[in-house]
Amino acid sequence: MKNIKVYNTEQLDNVRQSGKILSHTLVLLQESLRSGISTLELDRIAEDYIRSSGAEPSFQNYNGYKYSICTSINEESIHGMPRKDKILKDGDIISIDVGVRFNGMCTDAARTFAIGEISDEAKHLIQITEQSFFEAIRGLKAMSKVGDIGERIENYIRVNSTYSIVDRYFGHGVGEKVHEDPLIPNFIPPKKSIPKLKEIVRTRLPLHSVIAIEPMINMGVKDLKTASDKWTAITVDGKLAAHYENTLIILENGVEVVTLTNN
């Protein structure tokens, strides 16, 4: 894990502006949610807004992906593809993942939203997933270990719920590219896990590195399967899945979350 990039002041300012455009996109998407809208319409809203802000949707053309956002409904965890015939209805939950590139710098963030009235259980899943992110960044700063992140997420989830943490996908470095080193597990690697993972959790995050932390929490079992579209990752037991992600800059005494939507 010698490849963690650190960025200069100008690049970090572009990360901040990229994050601002992304958070505004998330707010606009949230305001656009209603029963009857298709996920393709949401994709169009996001793309138009990102481009009109002088930025680009960073997911487009990433590994052949054609869209600006990922839209994952109910048992879909991540990487759901926007479609004209995927129509939201009351009682659904939808995870929306957005990527922005501004002046060459990428940011990445996701939220899970409710459509109309949802069950208390579903509300709890969304809330716990979000809170696990904020637990993860507690005390995080330059030279913290990557493993501190997954440890805080897993401890929080274990104490507060019976939910499971997806361990097949990871958070990641972000910056000039959508995905950079290091991989960031959202969980504590089991004793028998691959040596690479054990090395990753011991890695320290340098000052002015940029990462995306993205807990994916399932109401049932942790396992996902890939749908026939070859992208969408779905829970194997068909139970609900939530996702929460932000991009942040590692600073001397803490972190700066650049994709928050409530400020």
Q: What does the DSSP assignment read for 86-126?
A: -B--TT-EEEEEEEEEETTEEEEEEEEEE-SS--HHHHHHH
What share of residues in the chain are helix, strand, coil (percent, to 5)?
A: 30, 25, 45
Q: Of the candidates 50, 212, 224, 258, which one interacts with Co ion according to CB under 5 A?
A: 212
Alpha helices in the chain (DSSP H): 9-32, 39-52, 120-136, 146-160, 195-202
| Contacting residue, 19, 99, 150, 175, with ligand MF3 by CB under 6 A | 99
**Of residues 81-120, those binding Co ion (CB under 5 A):** 108
Q: Is 108 in the site for ligand MF3 (CB under 6 A)?
A: yes
- Which is nearer to Co ion, 45 or 183 (by Cβ)? 183
Number of shown-chain residues binding Co ion (CB under 5 A): 3
Least distance between ligand MF3 and beta carbon 37 (Å):
20
CB 221 within 8 A of CB 236: yes
Residue 63 in the binding site for ligand MF3 (CB under 6 A):
yes
**Binding piece for ligand MF3, criterion CB under 6 A, among 43-51, 60-68, 124-132, 182-190:** 60-68
CA distance 40 to 63: 19
* Best CA proximity match to 134, nearest among 255, 20, 12, 4: 255
Contact call for residue 70 and ligand MF3 (CB under 6 A) = yes
Does 7 engage in binding with ligand MF3 (CB under 6 A)? no
d(CA 226, CA 29) in angstroms, rounded, equals 25
CB of residue 35 to ligand MF3, shortest distance in Å? 25
Question: Distance (Å, rounded) from C-alpha 241 to C-alpha 88?
Answer: 16
- Residues 174 and 223: their CA atoms lie apart, in Å, by 25
Task: Provide, rounded to whole angstroms, the least separation between the CB of residue 18 and ligand MF3.
Answer: 14
The residue within the footprint of ligand MF3, chosen from 5, 32, 62, 145 (CB under 6 A), is 62
Instruction: Verify binding: residue 59, ligand MF3, rule CB under 6 A.
Output: yes
Which one, 95 or 118, has the nearer CB to ligand MF3? 95
Among ligand MF3, Co ion, none, what binds residue 62 when CB lies within 5 to 8 Å by partner kind? ligand MF3
Which of ligand MF3, Co ion, none interacts with 49 (beta carbon under 5 to 8 A by kind)? none
What is the spatial distance between Cα 233 and Cα 171, in angstroms, rounded to a whole number? 16
As a whole number of angstroms, the distance between CA 16 and CA 175 comes to: 11
- The contact set with Co ion (CB under 5 A) reads 108, 212, 214
- The contact set with ligand MF3 (CB under 6 A) reads 59, 62-63, 65, 70, 79, 97, 99, 108, 212, 214, 245
